[in-house]
Amino acid sequence: MRKIKRLVDKQILWKIGCGKVAFWYDNWSELGPLYNFLPEGYKPKNITLSIMMLNNHINWRGLDLLLSQHVVVKVNTFEISLRSTIPDSPVWTEDNSGSFSVASACQLFRKNRHKSWINMMNWQKCVPFKMNFIVWRALRDKIPTEAKVDKMDIPTSSSCCCCRFPSLETIDHLFFSGLFAQELWRILCGPIGHCIFKHLFQATYDQLVGM
Ligand SMILES: [Zn+2]
């Protein structure tokens, strides 16, 4: 969600009127929100642009020392003339009209979506949606296994129903290490011998869950 907010924030450019925009958090200078240029972890006060202005110039009060010189120079060269009777107005830069539209937002997300090979492999038109969806959920550990339900303090039997000697039901057990899963992989990958699909699937799962 934060990623999406950051992406959308970047595309909203504020046309300055009375200067009530947030000096650090709104994109009014075409550089994006200025807090992005501050040292990691530094959270500036939410102060308006108009308060930061003195005689038509930004009164940095020493805060410019926290930014790179080139950022300060760019911001200082930005022409700012406050008009107290005109409200600041947002312009959605992804659409020529300047107005927000869901279609342009979707296009923006699509352009910036991380195209990992697993996403490309996961969603296949020839596979029923529910199968694509369960793989997507399994890779992100989003299946309500007994182990997961246990974590929510909901009493369960905590053991699987796929093995002769039941074990704790986890994604790893259901899809990789359980007897039933191992037998399935053996049948599916038997002719190839070494099951590259299983290892790719497991490596991706480990990577996503570890993120
Ligand atoms: Zn089992």
pLDDT of residue 56: 85
**Ligand 1 mean position to 145 CA, how many Å?**
12
At 115, the pLDDT band (50, 70, 90 cuts) reads low
For residue 171, with 0-12 CB atoms within 10 Å meaning exposed, 13-18 middle and 19 or more buried, which class applies? buried
Contacts of 22 (CB under 8 A, 6+ apart): 33, 46, 47, 48, 49
Q: What is the pLDDT of residues 82-103, one digit of tens each?
A: 998 999 999 988 877 878 888 8
Per the model's pLDDT, the better-predicted residue between 117 and 189 turns out to be 189
Q: How far is CA 43 from the centre of its chain?
A: 20
Q: What is the pLDDT of residues 35-94, one digit of tens each?
A: 889 988 888 889 999 999 998 899 998 888 999 899 999 999 988 889 989 999 999 888
Sole residue written with tokens 């910036």 = 112
**Ligand 1 mean position to 163 CA, how many Å?**
4
pLDDT at 32 over 70: yes
**Ligand 1 mean position to 40 CA, how many Å?**
45
**Ligand 1 mean position to 204 CA, how many Å?**
21
Mean predicted confidence (pLDDT) in 197-206: 70
**Ligand 1 mean position to 178 CA, how many Å?**
5
Q: How far is it, in rounded angstroms, from Cα 28 to Cα 22?
A: 9
**Ligand 1 mean position to 185 CA, how many Å?**
14
pTM above 0.85, yes or no: no
**Ligand 1 mean position to 159 CA, how many Å?**
7
pLDDT of residue 17: 93
pLDDT of residue 96: 77
Per the model's pLDDT, the better-predicted residue between 95 and 208 turns out to be 95
At 140, the pLDDT band (50, 70, 90 cuts) reads confident
Q: For a pLDDT cut of 90, what percent of the chain falls above it?
A: 21
Per the model's pLDDT, the better-predicted residue between 79 and 199 turns out to be 79
At 193, the pLDDT band (50, 70, 90 cuts) reads low
Q: How far is it, in rounded angstroms, from Cα 59 to Cα 19?
A: 14
How many Cα atoms are found within 13 Å in the side-chain-facing hemisphere of 5? 5
Contacts of 124 (CB under 8 A, 6+ apart): 132
